Structure 1
Amino acid sequence: MKRGSPGPPEFHSTAYGMKYFHTVFLLWAVLLAGCAQNPSGTGSGSPKTSEGPLRVGLVFDVGGRGDRAFNDLAYSGLEQAKKELGVDFIYVEPGGEGGEREAALRQMADDPEIGMVIGVGLLFSEDITALAGEYPSKKFACVDYMPVKGAALPSNLSGMTFEEKKGSFLAGALAGLMTRSNTVGFIGGMDSGIIRKFETGFREGVHFVNPRATLISGFIGMTGSAFANPAKGRELALGQYGRGADIIYQAAGASGLGVLEAAGETGRLVICTDCDPETLKDSRILGSMTKAVDRSVFSTVASAADGSFEGGRAVVYGLDDRYTDLVYSVSNKDRIPPSVLGRIEALRTKILSGEIALDETAALR
């Protein structure tokens, strides 16, 4: 079934085979009926890791697999966990704008064979916080977790966070040092606190190394669907390139594919976010601010599998160990002068030492 088409979300399993088919069919039916509930509210699901390998249920962010970025990296982390740890998993791609997220999370939480449930993306924060409270015996994790106002992190929920502002500062420095037109652009997906961290970090990085540079900034939308609108991404990018930008930094999920399309049409460049190694071979890409979603998903699943999982806190995957990083295009690294590469590494060192202070929480307030 194609993403966004009418009907239930896609469920996939790596090892359940026919014995899991009945569970999946029921889950589809419940989602379609709109009645995925736990009437008792007692959280009856409980992990059964002692009876076999850990089984993980993952729900993708808007855009699903194939975004060549955020979601694909999360899947890669699960694949690594399967290969190296013997973990089994099932994943779901919510349809449309992701309105089935809560129902999919709840069904996984209610399944006694699933020991850990992961939501990929900030849009899961509120739902997964509530569900973790209902299912205290099950482990939960959320990639790009956003604090929920008035709610503490449950002891069985790990909030996975990154230093987007610091990584974006380095991306801004790269753009500011490499621009020839002295005009660069930023395109964000959903206008939200986390994406504002990308924008403000990029802006500060550009102006730190090139105070005279002009930044054109834009967001695709105000809802989760903004991460799955390549046509709008292309439209905004063509507008920014038309106004003189020669490099655009995009933090737009699958909508960023439209930015790449516009770069190809105009012969300009893009700095991406969360590119996988294969995508970095694209000649339209100058570099990518990466969040090692694959590594963080793997390490979180590994902790659940070996009993060292610790919830109740936000885990920061930061610049110091390169969970947050700036990487360069395989095709275009040779066009970046050694002096620029050296300058960016020097900036990284100053950020880590505190000489350059960047408040990761400013855009979230």
Structure 2
Amino acid sequence: MSLMKHLTAATATIALTAGMAAAEPALIFDLGGKFDKSFNEAAYEGAQRWAKETGGTYKELEMQSEAQREQALRRLAESGANPVVMTGFAFGDVLAQVAPDFPDTKFAIIDMVVDQPNVKSVVFTEEQGSFLVGMMAAMASKTNTVGFIGGMDIPLIRKFACGYAQGVKAANPDATVIANMTGTTPAAWNDPVKGGELAKAQKSQGADVIYAAAGGTGLGVLQAAADEGILAVGVDSNQNHLQPGTVLTSMLKRVDNAVYAAFTEGTEMTAGVNVMDLAAGGVGYAMDDNNAALVSDEMKAAVEAASAAIIAGTTVVHDYMSDETCPALTF
């Protein structure tokens, strides 16, 4: 082959490769914004990790209201973003309507199951991680009373509360669990003032460790616990550093891993349900310099043993969402 033919062939190959550039993935955050220090921020960190490791870029979108869900999804799909990843159960109904209109686009939803051939549904066993931090809360409590403050009163958040209460009772059958939800609308995810008020009210009822599963509202719970001289438990992201020395631990929900995996799979993403449980590293609890002094060796040993038993299947934590009942807590 002549040199000219070689060069022509090489140029054609380069042009073809350029035309096949990978589609940009996209991430849509739920209400509360990407810097909520909790659920959305974990998703953001997963996307950022992917971008740093691959040098790739991605589109992102923060919604300002419920009404934007369908518009946001359609806009990203129409722009050629693939896959489109969204955080939060509230996208479920909209995604079920939109996904069939874009059969060549892959979608991933976190915290809801949407049965479509181009959708990956990522769910977590929040009850397992909550069980572990519940054990720690019970062992750290001096009053035998602990609290739970949820965001929006939905089955998913009752799942957190129920797992937590089971862990509390496993460590101390005589303990009392006080549970409150912040509200019944999406505004409940972003009301730190109300979170702080609920925390103070629970303290007045004897609670000296309070677990917040409430998005941005939880920041008010952590602040109030620090102000009142009691302990708090963070959620989703590692929140130990937000109030060092008064956050006992944080229940880690590895939304970052879910987003990172979805971006990594890209257009080859497989549809179906992906359960991120304790065994898969989907949930856990946070230990670092900020809470090391609060967690005794006895607490660590008890939680590690419980974790091994859950993974082995010898300890089964009841999932509130399986039948909307909770053996350890009355709502």
Q: Report the TM-score, using the length of structure 2 for normalisation.
A: 0.88
Q: Which has the larger radius of gyration?
A: 2
Question: What pairs up with 1:1-365 in 2 under 5 angstroms?
Answer: 51-96=20-65, 98-112=66-80, 114-145=81-112, 147=113, 153-276=115-238, 279=241, 282-304=244-266, 307=268, 309-311=269-271, 313-360=272-319, 361-362=321-322
- Quick one: which amino acid aligns to residue 102 of structure 1? E
Q: Report how far residue 50 of structure 1 moved.
A: 6.1
- Quick one: which amino acid aligns to residue 93 of structure 2? E
CA displacement 1:209-253 (0-9 Å, x = unmatched): 101111110001112221111111111111111211100011000
Q: Distance in 2 between matches of 1:172 and 1:260?
A: 16
What SS class does the counterpart of residue 348 from structure 1 fall into? Answer: helix
Structure 1 contact 175–206 (Cα < 8 Å) conserved: yes
What SS class does the counterpart of residue 251 from structure 2 fall into? Answer: strand
Q: Distance in 2 between matches of 1:59 and 1:281?
A: 28
What SS class does the counterpart of residue 257 from structure 2 fall into? Answer: helix
Percent of residue pairs bearing the same amino acid type: 34
Q: Distance in 2 between matches of 1:284 and 1:269?
A: 5
- Quick one: which amino acid aligns to residue 168 of structure 1? S
Q: Report how far residue 362 of structure 1 moved.
A: 2.4
- Quick one: which amino acid aligns to residue 36 of structure 2? D
The alpha-carbon distance between structure 1 residues 184 and 78, as it changes in their structure 2 partners (threshold 3 A), is same
Structure 2 contact 41–237 (Cα < 8 Å) conserved: no
Q: Distance in 1 between matches of 2:248 and 2:294?
A: 9
Q: Distance in 2 between matches of 1:49 and 1:213?
A: 63
CA displacement 1:329-353 (0-9 Å, x = unmatched): 5322223211110011001111111
Aligned match of 1:14 = none
The alpha-carbon distance between structure 1 residues 59 and 194, as it changes in their structure 2 partners (threshold 3 A), is same
Where do 5+ consecutive residues of structure 1 fail to align?
Answer: 1-47
Q: Cα RMSD (Å) of the superposition?
A: 2.0
Structure 2 contact 240–286 (Cα < 8 Å) conserved: no
Name whichever structure is richer in helix by fraction.
Answer: 2
Structure 1 contact 281–330 (Cα < 8 Å) conserved: no
What SS class does the counterpart of residue 95 from structure 1 fall into? Answer: coil
Q: Distance in 1 between matches of 2:290 and 2:82?
A: 42
Q: Report the TM-score, using the length of structure 1 for normalisation.
A: 0.80
Q: Report how far residue 280 of structure 1 moved.
A: 6.1
Structure 2 contact 223–243 (Cα < 8 Å) conserved: no
CA displacement 1:154-181 (0-9 Å, x = unmatched): 1110001111001111111111111001
The alpha-carbon distance between structure 1 residues 186 and 166, as it changes in their structure 2 partners (threshold 3 A), is same
Structure 2 contact 153–183 (Cα < 8 Å) conserved: yes
Aligned residues: 308
Structure 2 contact 121–273 (Cα < 8 Å) conserved: yes
Structure 1 contact 56–87 (Cα < 8 Å) conserved: no
Structure 2 contact 85–262 (Cα < 8 Å) conserved: no
What SS class does the counterpart of residue 99 from structure 1 fall into? Answer: helix
- Quick one: which amino acid aligns to residue 259 of structure 2? V
Structure 2 contact 209–233 (Cα < 8 Å) conserved: yes
Q: Distance in 1 between matches of 2:167 and 2:49?
A: 34
- Quick one: which amino acid aligns to residue 52 of structure 2? K
Q: Distance in 1 between matches of 2:322 and 2:197?
A: 29
CA displacement 1:243-266 (0-9 Å, x = unmatched): 111000110001101101211220
The alpha-carbon distance between structure 1 residues 99 and 225, as it changes in their structure 2 partners (threshold 3 A), is farther
Aligned match of 1:6 = none
Q: Distance in 1 between matches of 2:19 and 2:245?
A: 48
The alpha-carbon distance between structure 1 residues 77 and 288, as it changes in their structure 2 partners (threshold 3 A), is same
Structure 1 contact 280–328 (Cα < 8 Å) conserved: no
Where do 5+ consecutive residues of structure 2 fail to align?
Answer: 1-16, 326-331
Q: Distance in 2 between matches of 1:335 and 1:276?
A: 15
Q: Distance in 2 between matches of 1:49 and 1:246?
A: 60
